[in-house]
Amino acid sequence: MPDESALESFPGAPDAMSAPGDAAAQPSGPAPEFRAAIEAIVYAAEEPVSVAQIASAVHGEKDAVRRALRELIAAYATDERGIEIREVAGGFKFYTKPQHHDAVRRFIKSLQPPLRLSMPALETLSVIAYKQPVTLPEIQEIRGVQAAGVIKTLLERGMITTAGRKEALGRPILYRTTKEFLMRFGLAGVDDLPSLKEFEALARAALGEDGIVPEEPGESGAVAEPEEPTVGEGVGPE
């Protein structure tokens, strides 16, 4: 095998050197080196990495990347592995398996502050998740209470962002969930949301029992709606 090909494309990724009809050049599946390179990329990525991003990095075809990802997902699904690869927010990312969350939680807490939300914040977040894009007046009509303070909390936590303005009287701001929300809750997209009744269980699993806190100061009562962020401050799900 020519050495110069190693930096251009990995085994298992079709390239110009593969002649049509050459059986030796048509592997039945991604070669170990190709699969290992993809594993390293997913591991190194701080956010879910897409098939297109991986294919560009390894100079391979998207179909070959997808096959390699399927093999990696299957390999990490065994009980001997403490981590797994999940498809989340349009990409792929390593996560610890649910059965090991208790063992890992103490370590995670030492690295970064966990996400903490009050029940009013979770209730408002659920309304936005299922009704998005939705305005503050619509949220308040559904919940029957003031929600501007909670909206401010959810914006600060990165769970929601603005989605323009509704073409209605007063042109109220529209809100939707973010990729950070999908990542925190382990969802591939908003289509993967469970039923509304199951949302609290999903939240408790994502945040942990100590992640749901009493109502925070400023979340209740009549307060001014947060101003719409400038373009680029928030990123919603694709």
Q: How far apart are CA 25 and CA 185, in angstroms?
A: 42
Let me know if residue 104 belongs to a domain: no
* Mean pLDDT of the region 176-183: 90
Are 89 and 122 in the same domain?
no
In the predicted model, is pLDDT for residue 172 greater than 50? yes
Instruction: Identify the CA nearest to 34 among candidates 57, 56, 13, 4.
Output: 13
Are 70 and 33 in the same domain?
yes
Sign of CA dihedral 201, 204, 207, 213: positive
Q: How far apart are CA 11 and CA 28, in angstroms?
A: 11
- What's this model's pTM, rounded to 2 decimal places? 0.53
Q: How far is CA 92 from the centre of its chain?
A: 9
Let me know if residue 42 belongs to a domain: yes
* Residue ending a domain, choose from 99, 132, 152: 99
Let me know if residue 163 belongs to a domain: yes
pLDDT at 38 (0 to 100)? 97
Are 205 and 144 in the same domain?
yes
pLDDT at 17 (0 to 100)? 40
Are 123 and 167 in the same domain?
yes
End-to-end Cα separation, the chain, in angstroms: 41
Are 69 and 127 in the same domain?
no
Q: How far apart are CA 214 and CA 192, in angstroms?
A: 28
Kindly report, residue by residue over 180-234, the tens digit of the pLDDT: 898 888 787 888 888 888 888 888 887 877 778 777 766 665 555 666 654 444 4
Kindly report, residue by residue over 72-114, the tens digit of the pLDDT: 999 999 999 999 999 999 999 998 888 887 787 667 556 656 7
Are 61 and 129 in the same domain?
no
Are 181 and 127 in the same domain?
yes
Let me know if residue 179 belongs to a domain: yes
Kindly report, residue by residue over 121-136, the tens digit of the pLDDT: 999 999 999 999 999 9
Are 94 and 125 in the same domain?
no
Q: Which domain holds residue 66?
A: 3-16+29-99
Are 85 and 133 in the same domain?
no
Are 94 and 134 in the same domain?
no
**Side chain identity, residue 199:** F
Q: What share of the chain is helix, strand, coil (3-state, %, to 5)?
A: 45, 15, 40
Let me know if residue 88 belongs to a domain: yes
Are 37 and 125 in the same domain?
no
Are 128 and 192 in the same domain?
yes
Structural domains counted in the chain: 2
Let me know if residue 191 belongs to a domain: yes
Tell me the CATH number at 78. 1.10.10.10
